[in-house]
A and B are shown apart, each in its own frame.
Chain A
Amino acid sequence: MHSIPGRRLIMGLFLIFLLLPIYWLVNMSFKTNAEIVSTMTLWPHTPTLQHYKRIFTDESWYSGYINSLEYVVLNTIISISVALPAAYAFSRYRFLGDKHLFFWLLSNRMAPAAVYALPFFNLYSAIGLFDTPWAVALAHCIFNVPLAVWILEGFVSGVPREIDETAFLDGYSFPRFFIKILVPLIASGIGVAAFFCFMFSWVELLLARTLTSVSAKPIAAIMTRTVSASGMDWGLLAAAGVLTIIPGALVIWFVRNYIASGFALGRV
């Protein structure tokens, strides 16, 4: 791949631009509130772990992380397992209304969450799922399932049809072919799709906050509690923010070799 002159400088400047605000957040999470408010320091002069300690010992704080991870994992599993057969169907067959159905699915990925907040609240209250991880996991399906179908369809189309035909000639039944042959062949595609589902479910707040009140409240919503009568608890807010970045960073590290091809959604 050919690059342009001055690329190191451009890349360096851009990475600094990306990292500087994150550094400031990390920096602030290790400062005492007195230091944050009173002076402007580039690194913590009296480093403290008090904010992290508070989050890890107070159940109302750390349960938020567990709640968030719970619905994110649930959502990823649901999305991938319903999207896989559909992706295969869209990639291999023509059937009544296939193109319209595909567009309808995609259009849901584009629907603004704000539109659905209130109706979802009514719907999930009516069927008794309100304030459970299931409500949020199902609600997030509205944008994750179409995306998973879209990504997986690209990867399934990359598998030659001869492989299906050979497998069926060898006497494989459809479910057995699917699990034994197709799934291993598009394993990287499934990884990429799971990564995207995880990502979009993890970062979404509006629906997650609307559909929970106490027992399934996500960490992102709990963070708003740091505003109190005595002013903002900046250090605690920063520490909670740093902890929400960590799961994402871990996931990126595991899929770093697939990021490039995955971001093109199997369509280059």
Chain B
Amino acid sequence: MDKIVNQKAWFLVLPVFLVVAFSAVLPLMTVVNYSMQDTFGNNQFFWNGVGWFKELLDPSTDLGGRFLASLGRNLFFSLVILAIEVPLGILVALSMPRQGWTVAACLVILALPLLIPWNVVGTIWQIFGRPDIGLLGYVLNAMGIDYNYVSNEIDAWVTVIVMDVWHWTSLVALLCYAGLKSIPEAYYQAAQIDGASRWAVFKAIQLPKMNRVLLIAVLLRFMDSFMIYTEPFVVTGGGPGNSTTFVSIELVKIALGQFDLGKAAALSLVYNLIILIVCWIFYTVMTNAGAERKPQEGAA
């Protein structure tokens, strides 16, 4: 379908442009402004140029060390949860019942964790995991495993990762299920006539059909895990020590905890830039994948 060139379409986009510009561009300008200055309270500001940025990217300073360490933790966390949630989500989508009331029941239960406020997710896992009052913590300790997410770094990490898997695997599963449902029955019948194995059906029919939704899933999961704040903050508070302090937690600590506006603003900009670059790569891959499928659209 060819699109018509029509500059008047801008009038239709104008409301969105104004709303988002008001909420995005104005605050971002403040951030840029702060990132070049230093403050000693009392609304007094001093010019600091690119000083904060230099410090931020130099691991030997306090600010740089904290930033790069939290960035490393965050990247590791994102990769781990992607490695667990994507295969598990596909598996769950393939396990969906075919018809009947169980389909609706499964869908509702799957979607449930997605609609729980993020701090309540944290609360749920806090209550569930505590060795004194939580089922999980109690059972693990009764089995002889010394589990305590408050004092042990590895336990804290495992708790945060399991919590994220609990919270978000459903999103991947529901997306994949939507992709699977769009496959016509005739494909499967053809595969059966050809005597294709279960694995061949998955690789040749189901996976290619899920390609686009999987890209959306990976994009959303990467972005949201990269800016995760509330859930680990409620459960571990970034601890023990700094072991589960992710970039957003570090940023809020500097901005609203210490009120170090200059440092926080510089960190925000670099953080935002990283996300923007990754987002751009994904977006390009996605639009190219779409163009390959429908070449005439790309030419329009």
Contacts and interface: CB of A to CB of B under 8 A. Distances in A.
Given A3-B95, A101-B13, A122-B30, A19 B109 contact: yes
Contacts of A14: 88, 92, 95, 169
Interface in B7-21: 7-10, 12-13, 15-17, 19-20
Interface in B130-158: 132-136, 138
Nearest to A36: B133
Chain A's interface size range is: 35 or more
Contacts of A203: 114-118
Contacts of A257: 104
Interface string A153-191: 000010001000000000000000000000000000000
A114 interface: yes
A251 B24 CA distance: 29
B247 to A, nearest CB: 8
B108 A260 contact: no
A150 to B, nearest CB: 10
Contact of B248 (A7, A24, A112, A138): A112
Given A18-B166, A249-B115, A260-B107, A206 B3 contact: no
B161 interface: no
Nearest to B121: A203
B69 interface: no
B33 to A, nearest CB: 9
A103 interface: yes
Contacts of B94: 3-4, 7
B54 interface: no
Given A83-B16, A117-B252, A202-B117, A108 B24 contact: yes
11 contacts: A1-B183, A8-B97, A21-B125, A92-B9, A114-B268, A115-B251, A157-B1, A206-B229, A241-B120, A260-B107, A263-B171
Interface of B: 1, 3-10, 12-13, 15-17, 19-20, 22-24, 26-28, 30-31, 88, 91-92, 94-98, 104, 106-120, 123-125, 127-128, 132-136, 138, 166, 169-171, 174-175, 177-183, 188, 198, 201, 212-213, 216, 223, 226-227, 229-230, 247-248, 251-252, 255-256, 261, 264, 268, 271-272, 275-276, 279-280, 283, 300
